[in-house]
Amino acid sequence: MKNIISRALVASALVISAGAAMAQQAETAAQYPSRQIRLIVSAAAGGGNDLIARIVGERLQNRWSQTVTVENRPGAGNNIAAEFVYRAPPDGYTILVSPPAPLVVNAALFKELRFDPKKMEPVAVSSSIPNMLVVRGNAPWKTAQEFIAFARANPGKLSYASQGNGTTGHLTGALFEMLIGTKHAHVPYSGAAPALNDIAANHVDFMFADIGTILPLAQAGKVKMLAATMKETPKQAPGVPTIAEAGLPLLLSDTWTAFTAPPGTPLDIRQKFAEAVREIIFSAPIVARLDQLGVVPLGLRPNEMAELVASESKRWTDVVEKANVRLQQ
């Protein structure tokens, strides 16, 4: 009899505990956020995604009167940050801020991942920024046509930097190689800023990177922008042709900033976060600031982000397969 009573008490406690947990989850969904939010940036400080994270984080903090911290966890082709967020509690308080790579292409690049990109929950895509073909400041090439001709005629003699293995910059470089029919040395970094610093120091020949990160160095004459990998040249780079005008119309590439949550994060929390990001990114002061950097506000919601991830996954996975891109584990 005593055992029966004991088991009944345990069962009752479990029911109460489960009910309390469900109530807490419901309360969190209704009152979110009620404590600190962590934005986990998958690249080093100084790059485009880091900038967006800090702009959004500061204004979320003012809006919600809760601390919002930005933490940089670069490395392993953005996988370190993605895995960290993947294993975080699904409560909306740990959010990944990344370029497309960990969501759309790393599954095709790496033999094993410690997270499942398909299970990550879409939150928002804040913005997009055109990528540019940039070369070292002391480079002899004055035009994109000259550079492309040299690259074609001199297999293996050039080196190109990227923000890391599997990043948009890396795959754009791989697509470039595929289109011109030659291979060159890939030098991965842990973000756009350190990569561009080595371009500026004339240690690496070229790179595909977002215009916002490039502009200060280009204006200082430390690097040269030769072409825009978009259908139109950003107004921040007047006189710079598109890559199509230079003879490579299929070399289209931009970098978008995604906010992603751990598997199981409730949709209503993600929608609330996305609406806040959307209002911030389309506010007049932020639009003006982003315009100076060449950043295009998007403000995509969870369902819209899911559609973008699906289409970009197909596009870049095709590039990985056709260019035979392989990463060491």
Q: Which residues contact 296 (CB under 8 A, 6 or more apart)?
A: 127, 128, 129, 130, 290
Residue ranges, comma separated, of all CATH 3.40.190.150 domains in the chain are 37-128+256-322
CA dihedral 45, 48, 52, 58 (to 10 degrees): 30
At 76, the amino acid letter reads A
CATH of 130-228, one of 3.30.1330.40, 3.40.50.1400, 3.40.190.10, 3.40.50.2300: 3.40.190.10
**pTM exceeds cut of 0.85:** no
CB 206 within 8 A of CB 158: yes
CB 262 within 8 A of CB 85: yes
For the segment 304-315, the average pLDDT, to the nearest whole number, is: 96
Question: Is pLDDT above 70 for 1?
Answer: no
For the segment 271-282, the average pLDDT, to the nearest whole number, is: 98
**Span 37-128+256-322 CATH architecture:** 3-Layer(aba) Sandwich (3.40)
User: Cα(257)–Cα(96) distance, rounded to whole angstroms?
Assistant: 10
Element at 9 (helix H, strand E): helix 2-31
pLDDT tens digits, 112-133: 899 999 999 999 999 998 899 9
pLDDT tens digits, 42-57: 988 887 899 999 999 9
Residue ranges, comma separated, of all CATH 3.40.190.10 domains in the chain are 130-228
